[in-house]
Amino acid sequence: MKSNVLNKHIITTATIAAIAGLLFGFDTGIISGALLFLSASFKLTALTKGLVVSCLLLGALFGAALSGRIADYFGRKPVVITTAIVFTIGALGSTFAPNFVTLIISRIIIGVAIGIGSYTAPLYISEVAPVELRGSLVTLNQLMITIGILASYIVSLIFSTGGEWRLMFCVGIFPALLLGVGMFFLPESPRWLVMKQYSDKARQVLQKLRQSDDVSHELSAIEHSIPKSRPTLKDVFAPWARPVLFLGLGLSVLQQASGINAVIYYAPMIFKMSGFQGNVSSIMATVGVGIVNVIFTVISIWLVDKVGRRTLLLTGMVGLILCLLTLSDAFHHHQLAGQLKWITLASLLVYIACFAFSLGAMFWLLISEIFPLRIRSFAMGITVAANWASNILVSVSFLSLVKWLGTGNTFLLYAVFCMIGLVFCYRYIPETKGCSLEQLETNLLEGKRLAKIGA
């Protein structure tokens, strides 16, 4: 059989697993639309509104923290299938919630599923992907997140005329079912199979995924990188592993410190603050943000394995800083009042474009690549949990920051975080394009500098 890396098996496999990303985007995005109507149905106060938004994030934090262990123990495939079932239960619970407590419990359940899925899906994709396509295929997961966010904005718009928040939640059931059923037909990750000493099965899976009988080289590279014993917390914090953990955690916090979810969750409000009148124009502008997010994630998929991770990351971060400084300046100069809304719209559109092809896509990709196999699962779990914890901090503090510091200074603060991030990425981010996961691991163990482990 001839080797053909870009074949329908690998594309279908990655696309189905990436539906977990779609659920992530949809379920985090839908609350901004549903919240307006939930408030009326359940007579929510400011406090209980905050609870509805943050309980999902707390669930996700918990799910992500849990996921490293369970994906190693049970395998990537059963964990993603279970995640789909949990999603479905949570979505049904929120659709039919008879009272506020049921709604909160259901949102926590969805959060746990998002947390586990947000980690297991990119891990699975990176482990089935051939090296030439790994960047594009893992970034497919981020694309699905952005499509999920956009879908949630559109679904909110459609059902907002009748205030049907139950239908808004109900839509999430369909992709969850699709993920569960689709994943059932996919193979287990060959790397996990080797880890559990099912090398024959791993060979068959690789032959099918690569559409080639000649997979011995890849298989033996995987076999060599397999840990001899079960990883422990001590391994993750061992001196040789600390640099990559530092890299993953740094990127994770930075992604959120850029203020992305202040924009994703509060875009309609920011547009209103800048002078857009009425809900409809603000929501339309928000849909614009969602569309640009999707388009530039597609562009990053196309570019990532050509120009590389570092170039995209650094270019995007310079763009983020410029947009945030422009926004900050515009909100500081009230004399610009008439133009403020247009400056805000333009800056936020460019901001989201820059985020999409840099911190958005590259964070999920790099954390699925940089960790050696023996600690990959565990370390990714910790990194993703840190991402959710930072997400909670940024999204919960945004409104208070606007109140205490003013909108202009809040954007300035995010700009400062991005500047620190730019220096961090410039110094430490390796170019992993075209380097196999096993080679990255060897370079790290040989003590190469972080920025050079992809060389």
Residues of the shown chain interacting with ligand BGC in the complex, contacts defined by CB under 6 A: 142, 145-146, 149, 255, 260-261, 264, 293, 360, 363-364, 391
In residues, how long is the chain? 455
How far CA 94 is from CA of 37, 140, 204, 327, in Å, comes to: 13, 28, 41, 36
How many whole angstroms separate alpha carbon 296 and alpha carbon 139? 11
Tokens 């590279």 map to which residue?
Answer: 221
Smallest separation, CB 445 to ligand BGC (Å): 29
Q: Which distant-in-sequence residues (6+ apart) come within 8 Å of 227 by Cβ?
A: 195, 235, 373, 374, 375
Question: Considering beta carbons, is residue 88 or 141 the nearer one to ligand BGC?
Answer: 141
Question: Considering beta carbons, is residue 57 or 444 the nearer one to ligand BGC?
Answer: 57
Question: Considering beta carbons, is residue 91 or 392 the nearer one to ligand BGC?
Answer: 392
How many whole angstroms separate alpha carbon 271 and alpha carbon 279? 10
Smallest separation, CB 263 to ligand BGC (Å): 8
Smallest separation, CB 2 to ligand BGC (Å): 36
Q: Do residues 317 and 422 lie in contact, with contact meaning Cβ atoms separated by under 8 Å?
A: yes
Task: Write the DSSP symbol of residue 215.
Answer: -
Q: Which of 213, 188, 211, 218 is nearest to 201 (CA)?
A: 188
Question: Considering beta carbons, is residue 205 or 392 the nearer one to ligand BGC?
Answer: 392
Smallest separation, CB 364 to ligand BGC (Å): 6
Exposure string over 312-321, b if 16+ CB within 10 A, otherwise e: bbbebbebbb
Question: Considering beta carbons, is residue 24 or 165 the nearer one to ligand BGC?
Answer: 24
Identify how many contiguous H helices and E strands the chain contains and give both numbers: 21, 0
Smallest separation, CB 255 to ligand BGC (Å): 6
Say if residue 335 is exposed, middle or buried (CB neighbours under 10 Å; 0-12, 13-18, 19+).
exposed
How many whole angstroms separate alpha carbon 360 and alpha carbon 263? 13
How many whole angstroms separate alpha carbon 307 and alpha carbon 309? 7
Question: Considering beta carbons, is residue 136 or 436 the nearer one to ligand BGC?
Answer: 136
Question: Considering beta carbons, is residue 379 or 444 the nearer one to ligand BGC?
Answer: 379
Question: Considering beta carbons, is residue 209 or 323 the nearer one to ligand BGC?
Answer: 323
Smallest separation, CB 264 to ligand BGC (Å): 4
Six token digits for residue 269: 């409000």
Smallest separation, CB 119 to ligand BGC (Å): 11
Smallest separation, CB 136 to ligand BGC (Å): 16
